[in-house]
Amino acid sequence: MEFTAQQLAEVLKGTVEGNPQEKVSSFAKIEHGKPGQLCFFANPKYEHYVYTSKASVLLVNSDFVPKAPVTPTLVRVENAYDALAELLSFMARQKKAYRRHRGRCRISWSARLGKKVHVGDFVTIGRDCVIGDCTKIYDNVTIGAGTKIGSYCIIYPGVHIFPGMVIGDRVILHAGCIIGDDGFGNAPQPDGSWKKIEHVGNVVIGNDVEIGSNTTVDRAPMESTIIEDGVRIDNLCQIAHNVVVGRNTAMAALSGIAGSSKIGKNCILAGQVGISGHVTIADKTTLAAQTGVIGNIKDSGKVYFGSPALPHRTFLRAYAKFKKSGEE
């Protein structure tokens, strides 16, 4: 897809400084820019690339003042980083074709599909499902009976959604993620064996949620596992039964939350964070990579490191003493 600098400015509500007819057809990092490509500049530490870039068009913040001559045509926007995200989203929408459904899928007669729903090959949609308008369901997706999916969702190939799940509007489920499998519930028996605890609850996902590839969100044995509005979950994460993940919380890859824990709003869980069961994490908590949480975090807005988790400053002091003791 090809755009001129002027067209980009119109889409992004920006202004052009240079040749408005300069054309671009692909994207690149600012340090790799070539003719015909669009780059963006938002981080001051990359400013030196602005003056050496060979890209045709460069997105910059409206208040950027060059300190040397600039070769690319500039498109000035309020926030270059946000503008790039908006542009990528715009291009993705242009590329995604709509088809009602293909012949090689199985849709129950009682399922209700909204307007302009795309259904790919080898999709199964169970009885009494409800799919909202303009949702796209790609190949090899399974949607269990009684599931409700909102409008403008994207369900990528290989996603499995178990019966009775509730998914809001504008949700993105990436390839291979599983919504509503049984949680890990087993009761020990007198003879040392385990008895499976059946899970008859569901998963409720709010609006504007994105869940990465091969992530699993388990359904509850009773009631619901809840992912609130605006949550972002990376690839290869585990959300156990009866967990609540608060609004706008973000979780990086390989993180896991054990059963019945409650994560507050606007929290950040870095890679490989582990949270044990039945704990509560306060709003706006940041957990650094590989942090292990075994108890409640009550104070909001704090940063924690280590396993078991310690406040940032406490962890650094303890680590300094530990390191020094090892050198003696």
- Closest CA relative to residue 156, chosen from 176, 170, 171, 142: 176
The SS3 call for residue 152 is coil
Q: Could you give the CA distance from residue 277 to residue 262 in angstroms, rounded to a whole number? A: 9
**Contact (Cβ atoms closer than 8 angstroms) between residue 38 and residue 101:** no
Residue 101 a catalytic site member: no
For the residues of 23-66, what is the DSSP string, one character each? Answer: EE-EE--GGG--TTEEEEE--GGGHHHHTT---SEEEEETT---
Mention every residue, 6+ apart, whose C-beta is less than 8 A from residue 123: 101, 105, 106, 107, 137, 138, 139, 140, 141, 142, 143
Tokens representing residue 179 in the block:
């919504």
Of the residues 199, 241, 278, 312, which is catalytic? 241
Residues serving a catalytic function are 241
